[in-house]
Structure 1
Amino acid sequence: MPEVAVADAEVREVLGVPAGKAVFEPLPHNPYNGVTAGVWRVTGGDRSAVVKVLTRTKETSVAWSASNDPRHWNFWRREAYVYRSGLAQVWQRHGIRAPRLLACVDRPDGDVALWLEDVPGEAATTWPLARHIEHAHRLGAAQGATGAGEDQPWLSRSFLRDYVSGRTANHDLLDDDEAWRHPLVREHFPAGLRADMVRLHQDREWFLTVMESLPRTFSHLDQWPANVRSDGPDSVLFDWAFAGEGALGEDLGNYLPDSVFDLFVPAADLPGLAKAAYDAYVHGLRESGWHGDERLVRLGVCASAVKYDWLTALMLARADDEQTDYGGAGTVPAALRYRERGLTLAFLADWAAEARLLAPRVGFPEPPSGR
């Protein structure tokens, strides 16, 4: 770890040993995100912790660059504020909590070190389907009870619009015959996907407007199995860097497809999982006292498909590239990735079609492509 000299006092405070006697183990994370200098498990003696270093000076692409705007989806200090304020534990009584904050250190170089509890439970990347469904139930109960919550000036606003708009995929590839003739694409993307993804892109502004007009709730906005572990019956949720206001159902609409996109859940299981998880989420909402129109929740889940508007074009662009796993530490078989993602994109196209039918029934205009 390059910051060992800087971290010496931090290691002594948290683990009670000199940094030179501690072992730093790099942990998987998004290496492209400009707000993350690194994440390590630090072990010293019989104690361990996880340290995540937040930064604004990391060189990366425009799409993942750190922001100094507290409302921006990638504001570099947000996660420190979420932990320091206690907001990361707002869902704890509903069975979803964050790791305990052990120390938050403003370093001389301007970076911020978050020292967090090392949670020993099972990663959600290996959970059985029933455990994902239970997590959805807890999430519904938590969001139904907390609602939009107390706003803070450092919570994200317009996350979905800004995130989607910042993706740099070449959408012209959606109309490129040669790109769709690539063997990986031709063999593993379902028939009709091209037209569905072209339409999703055409309707992007409509979907974003719908999502922004739905009932609001405090949201994590990066829920997927790599950010969740078990602690007995509870879920421990990591990486609160995007936290802010979202639509009811938006977190669930992210969690389900992302479970398949990174090969944690087979695509064949997605339809059954999505139905059971949605039912559990709504049951949680009702249990917590939420009395709104369930159709708005369903619309929030289905219309959240717009978050992946950019992904098809990216897959077309990278069909000749080596397929790396999350964190870039290894590779995955290209045929497996394209098959699973193709099936999931087709599933999202069905969500989008359902949203187009449902929206006018609850007071929204029809999308331009449907007129």
Structure 2
Amino acid sequence: MPEVAAAHAEVREVLGVSADRAVFEPLTRRDGAGATVWRVTGGERSALLKVLSRTRETGVAWSASNDPRHRHFWRREAWLHRSGLVRVWQPYGVRAPRLLECVERPDGDVALWLEDVRGEPATAWSPARHADHAHRLGVAQGAVGAGEDAPWLSQRCLRDHTSDPAAGGALLDDEAWRHPLVREHVTPGLREDLVRLRHDRAWFLTVMESLPRAFSHLDHRPAHLAGDGAGASVLLDWSFAGDGALGEDLGTYLPECVLGLSLPAAGLPGLAKTAYDAYLHGLRTSGWRGDEHLVRLGVCASVVRYEGLAAALLTRTDAARADDGDPRPAAPRPGHRELSLVLAHVAEQAAEARILAPQLGFPQAPSGR
């Protein structure tokens, strides 16, 4: 394995054992910026090794970027850790894993050696624990605000995320919508609601980019969270971090609780209310005194990131699994019922955003005229 050879000196420095005594366990099929991740165990110690690469083939469906502001800028996470900016929320109960070593390799890759967090994964959290995390996030974002604008933090991340012009093609596939599994679970009018969201995409992005700003994780999901045993939330994978709208991280987090199989889809409406209330209370606790309706708009309008989720609903069967030749296990995926309920939540949030935005001085959405 080439990683073992490249990491020989690093393993001894981090774990205190020779590389031939270390076990490399691949953990993920892909990473947002084209990184690959292993758990490396040597004796009684372990660490996560995350190799950031601009040029090496990583198997992801997109290419890492050299643009420091782009969503997929490949070096961002290394600079976040080196600068200490990744710890900006730590005083408020949301922290990053500790950096153990950062190595610039001769081949141009960057090796991040990070704390192996062994606390309870958020995919196993109760709804109350998810709401507690939402409160911590509110305190952190309220206290830090937009934070420091380093030149390598992402900008317009949501726009990059929704930029695929082919993402709406599934909405036009009449045959796919007639599939028995789709017809069984899709609520009346959902297809029209998703077409409307696709049509209004530019309006939603303009609204999101005009809302109060907050330093944001921008890939905020239970799969990237764990407890640390001391009450704090440990947030992983900061490769997209940068400028976001207040409420955007929470708006991402809520559907991901179902998409990541942390929560049954039937529990999403209840969590959406309790987590939003907890987040808003956290903002107020931090001393934030802004207009809470703008926060609500940020949460609701952020669902534009899921306008391409219909493709997953229409192309998936409950037993289907990706087969891309990657030896690492694929994560379990939600079935048609869960996806349809998440999409119904997305449609409801989008409808609320269209009502709320004009009340706050924004133009009406095109489909609302």
TM over 0.5: yes
Q: Which amino acid aligns with 1:280?
A: A
Q: 2:10 matched to which residue of 1?
A: 10
Corresponding residue for residue 200 of structure 1: 197
CA shift at 1:10, angstroms? Answer: 0.2
Structure 2 SS opposite 1:240: coil
* Other-structure match for 1:133: 131
Say if 2:316 and 2:335, in contact at 8 Å, map to a contact too: no
Verify the 8 A CA contact 1:185 1:319 in the aligned structure 2: no
Deviations 1:161-202 (A, max 9, x none): 111104743x23313221100122111222221011000001
Residues 63, 166 of structure 1: 8 Å contact kept: no
Superposed displacement of residue 330, structure 1? 4.4
- How many residue pairs match? The answer is 365
CA distance in 2, matches of 1:167, 1:34: 20
The one of 61, 68, 88 aligned to 1:70: 68
> Which residue matches 1:259?
257
Determine the structure 1 residue equivalent to 2:188: 191
- The share of aligned pairs that are identical, in percent, is 66
The answer to which of 246-255 and 60-69 deviates more is 60-69
Shift of 1:9: 0.4
Report what 2:94 is aligned to: 96
Once superposed, which parts of structure 1, at least 4 consecutive aligned residues long, lie more than 4 Å away?
60-63, 318-321, 330-333
C-alpha deviation, 1:227, in angstroms = 0.3
What residue is the counterpart of 1:177 in the other structure?
Answer: 174
TM-score (norm: length of structure 2): 0.94
Unaligned runs of 5+ residues in structure 2 are none
Quickly say closer, same or farther: Cα 1:34–1:220, change in 2 above 3 A: closer
Give the drift of 1:316. Answer: 2.0
Unaligned runs of at least 5 residues, structure 1: none
Trace 1:313-352 onto structure 2 (pairs within 5 A): 313-318=311-316, 322-324=320-322, 329-330=329-330, 332=332, 337-352=335-350
1:32 and 1:64 in contact (8 A); partners too: no
* TM-score for both structures, normalised by structure 1: 0.94
- Give the Cα–Cα distance (whole angstroms) in 2 for the partners of residues 361 and 79 of structure 1: 38
The aligned residue for residue 35 of structure 1 is: 34
C-alpha separation in 2, matches of 1:44 and 1:318: 40
- Equivalent-residue separation in structure 2 for 1:114 and 1:344 (angstroms): 35
C-alpha displacement at 1:238, in angstroms?
Answer: 0.3
Alignment of 1:1-371 (within 5 A): 1-27=1-27, 29-31=28-30, 33=32, 35-36=34-35, 38-59=36-57, 64-166=62-164, 168-169=166-167, 171-231=168-228, 232-318=230-316, 322-324=320-322, 329-330=329-330, 332=332, 337-371=335-369
In structure 1, distance between residues paired with 2:46 and 2:157 = 34
In the alignment, the residues of structure 2 paired with residue 209 and residue 34 of structure 1 have an alpha-carbon distance, to the nearest angstrom, of 25
Cα gap change, 1:331 to 1:133, in 2 (>3 Å): closer
